Structure 1
């Protein structure tokens, strides 16, 4: 339960900081300048919509983490070895998140060429991550770690599948954003789409790092260190 409390506290802190930056209480119709145009109205609503979705997705992963933390203490639990490819996949996902941030910064500079490079690099890295996860599943099956043979195996497949499905959904949104580039959509609309994709990728990276710590046992070590510091 300590891991889930830390996860939810961290998620709440990040969500609170992010929402505080979105000018939700602003009244653009009372302000002067370009803030009161359609962009000023569309930007907060799109971000808030994404924020609500991330809150729901974060709750789902929090429930998975909670169930994992409780189930791991039962007698029939047999920890499976951590595949080395998991570390490579993590590095690829970091690259994907960095690439999307690069695309967003390029969009703010109105640099369309770098936006395209960032989107393509981010998408290619995400696809590589998914392929790497499938290869891990294949390796586990070859070595006898089947889905139904042990609760630890089942949780590993379930957690990685849930994260992978969310990443596939992000690739759909990323594909639509890339299509906007080829259609020549104005930079203001493109900038918002790229920013939302970058935020979503950062969220997926954060969730994956938490899941990785859980699957490798690092989360328990971190909790123990925190307890020692607090006592």
Structure 2
């Protein structure tokens, strides 16, 4: 349970830091003296604030799923899931997609349209390959007798990976919108706000996936046991 609480605390700190940087806690009605800043209707980064709130909610959802996994581990019929190799391939692809989107963002900020489009396309393809790897992982688990209802570990993997995949699909919709702003002839800096949001979202999904994978494979419990042994 301490692992899940730590994950929730981490997500809360990240969300609070993100929102505080966006000026959500500003109180302009309490300011006195000369007006030094005139707010404009389009001046506040509503996209960033909205994404921060959304990620906080999604982080809480996955934290609840992780909490359910931890509680279920206490029963005698629980055993660590035997992950097929394609799961690790998919994890590498998701990490590659996150890295590519960050590279696309950096290239767009420099004004390098060609590099930005290339990195963006590679990130989109890596994301689609990750989803294909997830489907192959489900098939491999079913072939090895670890289907949806075979054991609690497999059931949780199907549930969490399916939920994670739905969030990936939602992100692909955002990618499609950003792709229009990276079209030929369009200034790359026009796509910077959308690329920034997509990159942050992909980094978050990668972090969540690694945390859930460590939990389901038993690594998180081993690390927690090692830390308790060291501290005691």
TM-score scaled by length of structure 2: 0.88
SS of aligned partner of 2:156:
helix
Structure 1 Cα separation of the partners of residues 184 and 18 of structure 2: 31
Measured at CA, do residues 87 and 26 of structure 1 come closer, stay the same or move farther in structure 2, by a change above 3 Å? farther
- 2:96 match: 95
Q: CA deviation at 1:199?
A: 0.5
1:160-210: per-residue Cα shift (whole Å, max 9, x none)?
Answer: 111111111111111111022227655554110010000000000110110
Q: Greater share of helix residues, 1 or 2?
A: 1
- 1:81 match: 82
- 1:15 match: 15
Structure 2 Cα separation of the partners of residues 26 and 91 of structure 1: 44
Tell me whether 1:5 sits opposite 2:5 in the alignment. Answer: yes
SS of aligned partner of 2:183:
helix
RMSD value, Cα: 2.2
TM-score scaled by length of structure 1: 0.88
Q: CA deviation at 1:112?
A: 1.5
Unaligned runs of 5+ in 1: none
Measured at CA, do residues 171 and 67 of structure 1 come closer, stay the same or move farther in structure 2, by a change above 3 Å? same
- 1:144 match: 145
- 1:212 match: 213
Alignment of 1:157-168 (within 5 A): 157-168=158-169
- 2:32 match: none
Alpha-carbon contact 2:113-2:187 (below 8 Å) kept = no
How many residues get paired? 225
- 1:40 match: 43
Tell me whether 1:30 sits opposite 2:36 in the alignment. Answer: yes
SS of aligned partner of 2:149:
coil
Q: CA deviation at 1:7?
A: 0.8
- 1:153 match: 154
- 1:63 match: 64
